[in-house]
């Protein structure tokens, strides 16, 4: 009886150590993977960036409620690396960013940084200075839009 039990255990171990079949539930990867994007830099639009935001409509005046919410989100997700001045902390300072960049570019970068870091020559130059890639903070669209409004407030939009 013991020999039979030992034989069954040995066979179970032997078969479980064989070639791994790809299962439907591969837990070695995150459940939500970022969409695959082209690595061809020639298809990159440096004015818009890369991501889902093609057009971001901004009002002439600041949305104070949204800017306040953006300040809260930035306090949790952004200000450990970015100052609101032009001074570099870990990443570049935010002062003047809404004057240098289109809103689509800002929204695409803060929600989809990796492909833009890989393709945008100006971002790559900034990476050489900062030496740290901006992580994807997993921002919801509304959070990203609020941060953009906070950036506009920081740049003097009233």
Distance from C-alpha of 47 to C-alpha of 16, rounded to nearest angstrom: 53
For residues 64 and 150, is the Cβ–Cβ distance under 8 A?
no
Q: Does residue 110 surpass a pLDDT of 60?
A: yes
Tell me the per-residue pLDDT of 5-61, one tens digit each, with 9 for 90 and over. Answer: 444 554 444 444 444 443 343 333 334 444 444 455 567 888 899 999 999 999 999
List, in sequence order, the alpha helices (H) in the chain: 2-16, 64-77, 97-100, 103-111, 113-119, 121-130, 141-154
Enumerate domains of the chain plus CATH numbers.
56-158 (1.10.760.10)
**Full-model pTM:** 0.73
């Amino acid at each position: 009886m013991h020999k039979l039990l030992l034989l069954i255990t040995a066979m179970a171990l032997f078969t479980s150590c064989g070639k791994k079949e790809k299962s439907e539930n591969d837990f070695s990867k995150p459940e939500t993977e970022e969409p695959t994007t082209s690595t061809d830099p020639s298809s990159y639009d440096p004015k818009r960036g890369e991501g889902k935001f093609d057009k971001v409509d901004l009002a002439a005046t600041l949305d104070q409620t949204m800017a306040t919410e953006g300040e809260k989100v930035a306090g949790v997700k952004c200000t450990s690396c970015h100052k609101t001045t032009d001074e570099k902390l870990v990443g570049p300072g935010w002062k003047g960013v809404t004057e240098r960049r289109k809103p689509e570019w800002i929204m695409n970068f803060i929600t989809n940084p990796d492909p833009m870091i890989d393709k945008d020559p100006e971002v790559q130059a900034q990476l050489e200075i900062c030496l740290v890639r901006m992580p994807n903070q997993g921002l919801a669209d509304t959070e990203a839009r609020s941060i953009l409004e906070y950036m506009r407030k920081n740049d003097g939009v009233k």
